[in-house]
Amino acid sequence: MTTTRGKYPTASETEWQAIIQNDASQDGRFFYAVASTGIFCRPSCKSRPPKRENVLVFASAEQAKAARFRPCKRCKPEGQRLPDREWVDQITEFIDRHYRDRLTLETLAEWCHGSPYHLQRTFKRVMRMTPTEYLGRRRIEEAKRALAESQRTVAEIAREVGIGSSAYLITLFKKTTGVTPNEYRKMRTDGRT
C-alpha cells in the first residue's frame, strides 16, 4: 500500500524494491519521480538508484507530468524521447543555476538521466560547444560581473564562481576574453569596455 507524504504518494516497500532492482515486470504498473531531480522514470530505469526519501510514486506518466516532473531521457517513460533542444535547454538551465557547484559531465548525465557520451554529443550538436565549455563561459560571465561590481580579490571571485584556483581563473579568463581579470577590471574602471 502506498502512503502519502505531503501532496504526493511515496513508495511502498514493494515499489521501492522494484525501483532498486530495476524490475521491468513492474513497468506500466507505476512510475516513480525523484523530487531532487524533477524527473520521472519507469521502475526498470537503469539510472543510479535515488534516495528513498526523494521518491514519489504515480499511477501514470500523465500524473507525473501534471505534478511538473519531466520524463527521463534514459528510460523514456512515455515511450518517446524528449526533443534534443528541449533536453539541452534543461541542462543549460541546470548549469546556470548550479555553476558554483562542482559539475562534471558525469554529474550532469546523472541529473538528466542520460549517458555522459550521449549528453556530450547531443549538447555539442545543439549548442556548438561542450557542456564543459558552456560551464566555463557561464563562470567567466559571472567573474566579469563580479570584477565590474566589486573590489574582491581574484581568488575570492574564483571561489564565488565555482573555480577553486585563482591561477585557473586567470588562465581561463585570459583564454576567453584576451585579458587577465585585473586588466579587465582596469579597463572597466577606465571606461574602455
Q: What is the residue range of 51's domain?
A: 3-71
* Amino acid in the structure at residue 38: G
> Which residues are bridge partners to 8 per DSSP?
5
Q: Say which of 41, 45, 75, 112 is annotated catalytic.
A: 41
Q: For position 11, what pLDDT does the model report?
A: 84
Q: For position 82, what pLDDT does the model report?
A: 62
Question: Would residue 101 count as lying in a domain?
Answer: yes
Are 124 and 50 in contact by the 8 Å Cβ rule? The answer is no
Question: Would residue 193 count as lying in a domain?
Answer: no
Task: Specify the pTM.
Answer: 0.63
The Cα-based distances of 10 to 31, 45, 49, 82, 88 in angstroms read: 11, 18, 15, 25, 29
Question: Would residue 77 count as lying in a domain?
Answer: no
Rounded to 10 deg, the angle between the 131-149 and 166-177 helix axes is 100
The Cα-based distances of 178 to 102, 115, 139, 141, 174 in angstroms read: 25, 34, 16, 14, 5
Residue with cell 538521466: 113
39 with 129, same domain: the answer is: no
Low-confidence ranges of the chain (pLDDT < 50): 1-5
Number of domains in the chain: 2
54 with 93, same domain: the answer is: no
pLDDT (tens digit, 9 = 90+) per residue, 107-129?
Answer: 898 787 777 888 899 999 999 99
Where are the strands (E) in 46-94, listed by range?
55-58, 70-71
56 with 95, same domain: the answer is: no
Q: Which residues of 44-83 are buried (b: 16+ CB within 10 A; e: fewer)?
A: bbebeebeeeebbbbeebebbbeeebbbbbbbbbbeeebe
- Annotation says 72 is catalytic: no
